[in-house]
A and B are shown apart, each in its own frame.
Chain A
Amino acid sequence: MSDREQTGGIARRDFLRVLGVGLGAGIAGLPIQLLHAADPASNPLAGAVARDWEKIYRNQYRYDSMFDWVCSPNDTHACRVRAYVRNGIVTRLGATYDYQDYADLYGTKATVNWNPRQCAKGYTFHRVIYGPYRLRYPIVRKGWKAWADAGFPALTPELRTQYKFDSRGTDTFVRASWQDAFRYVAKGLHSVARHYSGEEGTQRLLSQGYQPEMVEETKGAGTRCIKTRGGMGLLGVIGKYGMYRLNNSLALLDAHVRGVGPEEALAGRNWSNYTWHGDQAPGQPWVHGLQASDCDFNDLRYSKLIVMDGKNLVENKLTDSHWFIECMERGAKIVVIAPEYGPPSTKADYWIPIRPATDAALWLGVTKLMMDNKQYDEAFVKQFTDFPLLVRTDNLKRLRAQDVFPDYKPGLTADGASMKVQNLTAEQYAKLSDFVVWDTKENRSVALSRDDVGARFVEKGTDPALEIRTKIKLVSGEEVEVASLWSLYQDHLKDYDLDTVHDITQAPKELIEQLTNDIATMKPVAIHQGEGINHWFHATEMNRAAYLPVMLTGNIGKPGAGCHTWAGNYKAALFQGSPQTGPGFKGWVAEDPFHLTLDESVPGKEVHAHAYTKDEEPAYWNHGDKALIVETPKYGRKNFTGKSHMPTPSKAIMFTNVNLINNAKWVYEMIKNVNPLVDMIVSIDIQITSSIEYADIALPANSWLEFEDLEITASCSNPFLQIWKGGIPPVFDSKDDAAILAGITAALGEETGDGRFRDMFKFEHEGKRGVYIQRLLDTSTTTAGYKLEDIMAGKHGPSGGCLLNFRTYPRIPFYEQIHDSLPFFTDTGRLHAYADTSEAIEYGENFIVHREGPESTPYLPNVIVSSNPLIRPDDYGIPQNAEHWDERTIRNVKMPWAQVKTTKNFLWEKGFQFFCMTPKTRHRVHSSWSNIDWHMLYDSNFGDPYRLDKRAPTVGEHQLHMNPQAARDLGINDGDYVYVDANPADRPYIGAKPDDPFYKVSRCMLRLKYNHAYPYDIVMMKHGPFIATERSVKAHETRPDGRALAENTGYQANMRYGSQQSITRNWHMPMHQTDTLFHKAKATIGFLFGGEADNHAVNTVPKETLVKITKAEDGGLHGKGVWGPTLSGMAPDNEDDAMKQYISGGFHGEAAF
């Protein structure tokens, strides 16, 4: 058959051109035959006189107007996007190409090389706003409404069933007016405050089975059981972070319910963002005291060695990935450390394959080689690290100056950097004290304070010994053995010689040595870690260990240098306050509802900030609404959750701009066993999500293009301050986030008769949102001096754009520490290789060590790999065969590697022998864009706009990547559907039984794709698809077209059954929950001990799982035979001879003309 015949009579090139028209429609069932020539008999050119059809073609890019808006998902970029409008419709989106115009107050401008900034998400956003999955108006769940209309009777188990709190997924929603919706939310909040306050409320909570410690934490205030989350608040400081302002107003509700005054009133708990996503590098505050280290991305140009350790800067830095890719042209070397050969490895000079979650061992091995080979900057080590500090070998604490020197006078002064610049308080200093080194000049111990760093330390004339072991007599008369940390590390690292590290990590020895030499000989060096590290239980150790090489070589605080972490756009510190400027961010989210500043002419610095709220990790809700309190053989009931972290029972959950339930690890446990005890769930979003499927009330928010007033954001990876509003009217009956929050508080005012609620958002009600933004600008360290009207008038760049006022461009973390000799934000003022907090010592993590994970390991779960006698962990008497997740979490057992190798993980023995990577994808941000047709087509190998196989949940579906040989060994063909199961003791939910219909909904089933990039025992499933729900499964099984499109809500799932979260669970890392870690507060210049959301708190770890893969269905059309593309001869591991010839370079040769 000729080519022309095959394509219906038109030439191949014409056929393909026509085929391209409208393919993006993603309409199920679109027939290809319609794309053929309309009438083969008619020649369109013959006798065609009318040429008006050409106008459509020639004018296809014409637009009537354009406007700029900011695409602000949680991918850290915050690109300003230009929308082109025709006939009132946003028809296309593009880059603005104006970053060279952004300037700061001093006239410094950004480089033109930031252009263009835009990814496939930004330029497809019009398909979100006009798409079929928008939340169009407020809706209320029928059962919940019936409960509310019945007057909110106290919920007994019977009433929870009657009103479908325990079967939300089978209930239906009804439309509500905005006024009614606000009133329902207000009444729901009032109900929770009433039911759980006082002694009666306490008893009610205890009777529902909550831990007494959590109930005690309510302090008798029902409002403390209200949890709010402004989804990645930085993405919209007014509308998203504004949720916490609403929460702070709940102190008024507490005052109303309990009759208390401001001094006793308590508001709700503010749920975190960054840590909840598992995005933080939890070990970084242990090293330098700061929440996270990251730089402006144009700083990457300065690096001569870029190491990506569990970080995919190609897929996850999208529009800004060019900054590192350019380094190839600039002579830099790129190294990737990852289990799989992924996108960044294709750019690397060398790829170091590594067994998952063993990166701490790798870095300890590199450190040992550098120390042994004297490949370190001795001056830097002495001036900026804790290696010279003396440590007591008896109690494992650092030697404190007041214990050594009689009548010791503290070394810090009020005009020193610690107190004058960093705002260390005298009370905090009293807990820290000063430290001791051994001075080689005077051959005696000398004290040093946290101000004694860098040049200031040099000026003192002390030359600390790096290698010293001695005995020192204390003022108490006791003589103790001490040694420098450097000497102790020389001992400690004996467990991490090259052969052992190779054995632990499976990384090639020659590449470990190459990496060591490259770090030692090249400058500047930057190490970038990401979710590939932070999503593991022992990320703390992997983060700490990665800092060791940069500490040894002084690669910090300089252009192109550092050890950074990249994930979400978390950086509230971009709007941090200070004594000099005012409250900054806190003035917005925590303005005192009892002392509101209602005069718009009053400067922002005079706003009275007082947080009646308290931070909390959603991880506790995500752990069965439980803190980490374990019954131990040795001590009985033992609490591992610090007081500063202790959660309260979750009785109301309200969130905006986040698919909270969908993205919860162990999601079906939340739906089945946890949320039935939650009295009210409110989701504010622009689309129907699975969180709404399982909510009680859903309120539609305006999208970024529809904002009716100003919003403001900034980013952790670029210097741009972005303020914008929408350019088209809201398509549906939606409101700006801030207007929704204002509506809820106003309704609370009507409910309680307290007018201060309405005043909480006074300027929002008056259409003067700019007052709040100006106050934010006035009082934040990075924006003080800016006038909103100037920014909007384009005085500092494009309208709405300017640069944050940083010390350097690009912004370089710790520049001041190195350049100005300021202390790091630790108790010693130095970079830490050692942690002497009581918890770290008890858990065996005072030294940086490698630990096997509590689940994802073939060996004894959670074992500490060391023989160091100065690691003295407590195992609490937990037996080594204990299987409960919390027992595995707290059991601290130390063994040298040779012994570890002989141990077994019970799950591995039961056949759970695949690690499951769950990285983020370039085609969505968390779950955003998951239901956009174009992205569903792009996102997997199974995108099909025609849905030829009606089993597909929609025009695309989720997939699991697997090594072909591993799949073949299990009898699985490329493209088959498979089940992915984790530990059946707790997943997909506790109590799951195969005959439970919900088990079918929740068990993960998806397509499998052969992929040689993955080692034999590693599979990969991208993070964040829209989960299967009861309604989507019912639709999939009953609709003629098979789509997983839920009735009533219109929710579209990406999975037929289950979710990526079917195999994950929450883990409560003890090292994330201390009360003693001293570190910088995130949004003000000052310090704190212990917990703070997104800073030192449970950072969730979805990768900590082992899975088993079993075949579910054949991959061929309609479940018969093999998946068609595998027969093409071009599919991986199914190549025909021609494809094999192509892969082997057989087609390469001299061109024949």
Chain B
Amino acid sequence: MPYDDPDPDDPMTLTGVSLEAPIDAVVDAAYAYADELARSGLDRSSIMLTFSAPEYRGPHGAYLALGHERIRDIVNENCAVFEACRGARMGSNEHA
């Protein structure tokens, strides 16, 4: 077990790296979280909780960056898609 700090010379050590990303990527990330959690069958309030609770650090980072209102809109938008999946046949005008 790796009780100590990883050996920097060990080629099998997993290394996480931080990458620069533009601030608008925060929106993409918030959409990704909301989409994945909606796919997981969570309802709106539960998804909002993952954003507002600091225990869920990724979503909460987006929450702090974008604010409650913006996050609520994103959650509502994603939940609407999957709520529609529950019974109604969906369509869109994309091809029209």
Tell me the A residues contacting B by CB distance below 8 Å: 3, 6-8, 10, 12, 15-16, 18-19, 21-22, 24-25, 27-39, 42, 44, 48, 50, 52-56, 60, 63-64, 85-89, 91, 126-127, 130, 136-137, 139, 173-175, 728-734, 946, 948, 1048-1050, 1129-1130, 1136, 1138-1139, 1142
Residues of B within 8 A of A7 (CB): 16, 18
Q: How far, in whole Å, are A10 and B57 apart by their CA atoms in the complex?
A: 11
Residues of A within 8 A of B32 (CB): 22, 25, 27, 30
Q: Determine the interface band of chain B, counting residues with CB < 8 A from chain A.
A: 35 or more
The prevalent SS among residues of B at the interface is loop
- In the complex, how many angstroms separate the beta carbon of B36 from the nearest chain A beta carbon? 5
From B10, B11, B64, contact of A38 by CB (8 A): B64
A-B contact pairs, 11 of them (CB 8 A): A10-B57, A28-B28, A32-B16, A34-B21, A36-B18, A39-B61, A53-B49, A88-B86, A130-B82, A729-B88, A1138-B11
Knowing A31-B28, A33-B21, A36-B57 are in contact, say whether A139-B91 is a contact too (CB < 8 A): no
From B9, B61, B89, contact of A36 by CB (8 A): B61
User: Quick one: closest A residue to B19, CB to CB?
Assistant: A32
B69 at the interface (CB under 8 A from A): no
B75 at the interface (CB under 8 A from A): no
Contact A22 B58 (CB under 8 A): yes
User: Quick one: closest B residue to A35, CB to CB?
Assistant: B58
From B25, B42, B87, B95, contact of A31 by CB (8 A): B25
Q: How far, in whole Å, are A309 and B85 apart by their CA atoms in the complex?
A: 46
* Contacting residues of chain B (19-70) with chain A, CB-CB under 8 angstroms: 19-22, 25-26, 28-29, 31-33, 35-36, 38-43, 46, 49-50, 53-58, 60-65
User: Quick one: closest A residue to B25, CB to CB?
Assistant: A31
Knowing A12-B6, A37-B61, A174-B96 are in contact, say whether A729-B55 is a contact too (CB < 8 A): no
Contact B21 A32 (CB under 8 A): yes
- In the complex, how many angstroms separate the beta carbon of A845 from the nearest chain B beta carbon? 52
Residues of B within 8 A of A734 (CB): 89
User: Quick one: closest B residue to A91, CB to CB?
Assistant: B41
Contact A731 B12 (CB under 8 A): no
Knowing A21-B58, A22-B36, A53-B55 are in contact, say whether A733-B90 is a contact too (CB < 8 A): yes
From A16, A27, A174, A729, contact of B28 by CB (8 A): A27
Knowing A56-B46, A731-B90, A1129-B11 are in contact, say whether A174-B33 is a contact too (CB < 8 A): no
Residues of B within 8 A of A63 (CB): 41
Contact B95 A1048 (CB under 8 A): yes
Contact B91 A89 (CB under 8 A): no
Residues of B within 8 A of A35 (CB): 57-58, 61
From B22, B57, B62, contact of A37 by CB (8 A): B57
Residues of B within 8 A of A27 (CB): 28-29, 31-32, 35
Residues of A within 8 A of B90 (CB): 136, 731-733
Top 4 A-B residue pairs of the complex, sorted by shortest distance between their CB atoms: A86-B41, A88-B86, A31-B21, A38-B60
Contact B21 A3 (CB under 8 A): no
Residues of A within 8 A of B14 (CB): 16
B5 at the interface (CB under 8 A from A): yes
Residues of B within 8 A of A44 (CB): 54-55, 57
Contact B89 A729 (CB under 8 A): yes
Q: How far, in whole Å, are A126 and B41 apart by their CA atoms in the complex?
A: 12
Contact A87 B43 (CB under 8 A): yes
Contact A39 B60 (CB under 8 A): yes
Q: How far, in whole Å, are A36 and B64 apart by their CA atoms in the complex?
A: 12
User: Quick one: closest A residue to B58, CB to CB?
Assistant: A35
- In the complex, how many angstroms separate the beta carbon of B55 from the nearest chain A beta carbon? 5
Residues of A within 8 A of B94 (CB): 136, 1050
Residues of A within 8 A of B40 (CB): 60, 86, 89, 91
- In the complex, how many angstroms separate the beta carbon of B8 from the nearest chain A beta carbon? 9
Residues of B within 8 A of A18 (CB): 57-58
Contact B92 A136 (CB under 8 A): yes
Contact A25 B38 (CB under 8 A): no
The prevalent SS among residues of A at the interface is loop
Contact A89 B86 (CB under 8 A): yes
Contact A136 B55 (CB under 8 A): no
Q: How far, in whole Å, are A130 and B33 apart by their CA atoms in the complex?
A: 15
From B49, B62, B86, B95, contact of A87 by CB (8 A): B86
Residues of A within 8 A of B26 (CB): 31, 34
Q: How far, in whole Å, are A729 and B82 apart by their CA atoms in the complex?
A: 12
Contact B9 A52 (CB under 8 A): no
User: Quick one: closest A residue to B22, CB to CB?
Assistant: A31
Contact B49 A34 (CB under 8 A): no
Residues of B within 8 A of A729 (CB): 86-89
Q: How far, in whole Å, are A88 and B26 apart by their CA atoms in the complex?
A: 29
User: Quick one: closest A residue to B94, CB to CB?
Assistant: A1050
Q: How far, in whole Å, are A882 and B46 apart by their CA atoms in the complex?
A: 71
Contact A19 B63 (CB under 8 A): no
Contact A88 B49 (CB under 8 A): no
Knowing A27-B32, A63-B41, A729-B89 are in contact, say whether A89-B82 is a contact too (CB < 8 A): yes
Residues of A within 8 A of B64 (CB): 38-39
Q: Report which residue of B16, B31, B56, B82 has the largest number of chain A beta carbons within 10 angstroms of its beta carbon.
A: B16
User: Quick one: closest B residue to A34, CB to CB?
Assistant: B29
Residues of B within 8 A of A52 (CB): 49
Contact A30 B12 (CB under 8 A): no
- In the complex, how many angstroms separate the beta carbon of A67 from the nearest chain B beta carbon? 14
Residues of B within 8 A of A1142 (CB): 11-12
- In the complex, how many angstroms separate the beta carbon of B90 from the nearest chain A beta carbon? 5
Residues of B within 8 A of A86 (CB): 40-42
Contact B92 A85 (CB under 8 A): no
Residues of A within 8 A of B38 (CB): 89
Knowing A87-B42, A91-B39, A1129-B11 are in contact, say whether A31-B19 is a contact too (CB < 8 A): yes
From B19, B85, B91, contact of A88 by CB (8 A): B85
Q: How far, in whole Å, are A270 and B94 apart by their CA atoms in the complex?
A: 34
Contact B11 A1139 (CB under 8 A): yes
Q: How far, in whole Å, are A31 and B18 apart by their CA atoms in the complex?
A: 9
Q: How far, in whole Å, are A38 and B50 apart by their CA atoms in the complex?
A: 12
- In the complex, how many angstroms separate the beta carbon of B28 from the nearest chain A beta carbon? 5
Residues of A within 8 A of B35 (CB): 25, 27
Contact A24 B36 (CB under 8 A): yes
Contact B82 A85 (CB under 8 A): no
Contact B54 A39 (CB under 8 A): yes
Residues of A within 8 A of B43 (CB): 87
Q: How far, in whole Å, are A31 and B60 apart by their CA atoms in the complex?
A: 14
- In the complex, how many angstroms separate the beta carbon of A1153 from the nearest chain B beta carbon? 11
Q: How far, in whole Å, are A54 and B41 apart by their CA atoms in the complex?
A: 16
Q: How far, in whole Å, are A52 and B54 apart by their CA atoms in the complex?
A: 12
Residues of A within 8 A of B41 (CB): 63-64, 85-89, 91
Contact A29 B21 (CB under 8 A): yes
Residues of A within 8 A of B62 (CB): 34
Q: Report which residue of A6, A38, A86 has the largest number of chain B beta carbons within 10 angstroms of its beta carbon.
A: A38
From B28, B39, B92, contact of A30 by CB (8 A): B28
- In the complex, how many angstroms separate the beta carbon of A892 from the nearest chain B beta carbon? 52
Contact B93 A175 (CB under 8 A): yes
User: Quick one: closest A residue to B20, CB to CB?
Assistant: A33
- In the complex, how many angstroms separate the beta carbon of B79 from the nearest chain A beta carbon? 9
Residues of A within 8 A of B56 (CB): 21, 53, 56
Residues of A within 8 A of B19 (CB): 31-33, 946, 948
Q: How far, in whole Å, are A85 and B39 apart by their CA atoms in the complex?
A: 10
Contact B25 A30 (CB under 8 A): yes
Q: Report which residue of B31, B87, B95 has the largest number of chain A beta carbons within 10 angstroms of its beta carbon.
A: B95
Per-residue contact bits, chain B 71-85, to A (CB 8 Å; 1 contact, 0 not): 000000000001101
Q: How far, in whole Å, are A1017 and B82 apart by their CA atoms in the complex?
A: 50
Q: How far, in whole Å, are A729 and B90 apart by their CA atoms in the complex?
A: 11
Residues of A within 8 A of B55 (CB): 44, 48, 53-54
Residues of A within 8 A of B83 (CB): 87-88
Contact A1130 B85 (CB under 8 A): no
User: Quick one: closest B residue to A86, CB to CB?
Assistant: B41
5 further A-B pairs in the complex, CB-CB below 8 A; given A56-B50, A173-B95, A729-B86: A25-B32, A25-B36, A28-B28, A32-B17, A729-B89
